[in-house]
Chains A and B, each alone.
Chain A
């Protein structure tokens, strides 16, 4: 497994420690700690997990075990423009799967991954409450409705220069 090494700044380490302390450094609170820390950093790189393990006095292996068990936690930073494809029932029956395949093909990444240049990441979500526009895709905060696979190239093109 290869990955980019992350150098944590002192204020970042202090922030993690502070979060651990707010849960009394109790190992039983590991999941809550991970939630909070991911909320702060956007993801949970190895270095962050190591600090948490040290603070809660548990093995890094155990922290990693919990991180990899729950799909909510991620060790991969989101792209600059996170792409969310709705695969809820309405979007699904109107072809979300094909749209998703097109994004994966264009960016050469899988769901949950980030493109090599760090620009895009793909995630699936279930229903954004705009079923009338199905299939729906969100890029960052911008919503696209009635997306067809042929539109994927153009959507990505909008972010080319950003």
Chain B
């Protein structure tokens, strides 16, 4: 490998040719401040538009300052990262950026977690001298069911665009207009709701300021919890327990299941249930559907649609409803675990505790922003009353726990309530990429072969690679399985399905990197895949520690079918646990 020798702040270093000044300096322990720059190395995304100029440094022999994030080193280069000229320029750049940025930090949702704020502190900015020369540019706020766009706070770093276009290939966002009027917006500046946005929330996860934030339901929740007329129950998604601890300073990968349950109980929820229970239920329905399609296919039925695609991820559902409308009959019709839980809670459980549907508030804690939209879909309402009233993110829950003067670190561990709190290990692994299909295989294998599995761990389905495939031997029948996480990866598998060349019987798709553990509502991982890896290990650890590992052996699931649903894909199950998909492509074409 060709290398280059250079000097940064009087320190010598040798780096591979093509390295940027910024990265060379980091190797020396010199932390040049950046703002628009984003390095998601593990996801192969390096966003270096060189737009903000905060990272400018002095290069000997060069007339102007160089943006270190996007300037490659050369042999003999001499760099100064903190000369007076650099410090002055950096301060001026920051003052100019702040001259068109609101100063309402006290009440900004990003306060305390804002890259711009942290940078202003680091650079010691105490005044904004350019303020008086112009009025600040303003732009209408855009409220979608999941994400709020407040473009007054946009600094045009365009990180969101990179996530939306390059990683997710959704193409909802682009920089539009110019000068002070420039913002990141959907085509024709329509609302996010009318754009191809899937609400995956990856833009929110990388936004350095309060320009993109989630819709916050915590105040609604506090109101409901303090209303004696309401019975408030909660379900927690598998990925939440593997990440919530990070917000309380715990090591990534710390499992806080029991502590989280205690905190929720102390917050005042009447019943603490688990989305994992509904994940087991999803496997019963989706697994049965998979076997049904497989059997028909083996019997030579030409109308049967294979591969079957998982349908638990609402970001993914939004994606194919917008961009693969010719394949609407391919995904499983099974509702997501969140919605299955809601449907059972507001029928079976409401009945059992004799509470009217309207007086039962079902709240979900999700690693996801798309879930906020999903629970508002009309298909999941009865007479206008939603099965799941609203969803709050892992970040919102952490904030609420702190607001209630609790620290998860000192929390004793308690158990979920019954009957909707029991889950198998199969339900837990829904939180990681490959988990849903592994859970489905555990059940489908035993039903299809009528044999007990010796080993329930299908390690060939696990991992972090964006697209994976594996074969599972169903006693002589080879089942081909595809897995993708990230919508850009999903698109590749989908195009094969569209072109009729897909070799898979079943495909699992998750919109976010790593699956739900890397969801848009999780504690920010800043593209550090080792954090996701640790969350993933935590999920599999919880699975391995469960006495029951297969969904169809969950005793409360068995009972639910006996007492209420009949059997998987029964008429009642269809009514409550399955859904249909809607062609939303027109929404891209015509705006309001």
Contacts and interface: CB of A to CB of B under 8 A. Distances in A.
Interface of A: 1, 5, 46-47, 49-50, 58-65, 68-69
Given A1-B189, A60-B588, A69 B172 contact: no
Contacts of B589: 47, 50
Given A59-B165, A60-B188, A64-B174, 17 more contacts: A46-B188, A46-B591, A47-B589, A58-B171, A59-B172, A59-B174, A60-B187, A61-B171, A61-B185, A61-B186, A61-B187, A64-B187, A64-B188, A64-B189, A65-B175, A68-B177, A69-B176
Contacts of A69: 175-178
B176 A65 contact: yes
Interface of B: 165, 171-178, 185-190, 195-196, 588-591
A80 B189 CA distance: 27
B187 A59 contact: yes
Of B185, B188, B589, the most chain A CB neighbours within 10 A belong to B188
19 contacts: A5-B590, A49-B187, A50-B589, A58-B171, A59-B187, A60-B187, A60-B188, A61-B172, A61-B173, A61-B174, A61-B185, A61-B195, A62-B165, A62-B171, A63-B187, A64-B189, A68-B177, A68-B178, A69-B176
Contacts, number: 51
Nearest to B589: A50
Q: Is the interface of A mostly helix, strand, loop or mixed?
A: helix
A69 B185 CA distance: 13
The list of the 4 closest CB pairs from A to B, nearest first, reads: A59-B171, A61-B174, A65-B174, A60-B187
Contacts of B178: 68-69
A62 B590 contact: no
A61 B186 CA distance: 5
Contacts of A63: 187
Contacts of B165: 59, 62
A46 B171 CA distance: 16
Contact of B174 (A1, A47, A50, A62): A62
Given A61-B185, A69-B177, A1 B171 contact: no
Contact of B176 (A5, A47, A64): A64
Contacts of A49: 187
B591 A1 contact: yes
Contacts of B174: 59, 61-62, 64-65
A51 to B, nearest CB: 10
A63 B589 CA distance: 13
Contacts of A47: 589
A1 B172 CA distance: 17
Contacts of A65: 174-176
Nearest to A65: B174
A73 B317 CA distance: 36
A125 B175 CA distance: 27
B106 to A, nearest CB: 32
Nearest to A71: B178
Contacts of A60: 171, 187-188, 588
A124 to B, nearest CB: 17
Of A5, A58, A68, the most chain B CB neighbours within 10 A belong to A68
A65 B184 CA distance: 9
B176 A1 contact: no
A58 B176 CA distance: 15
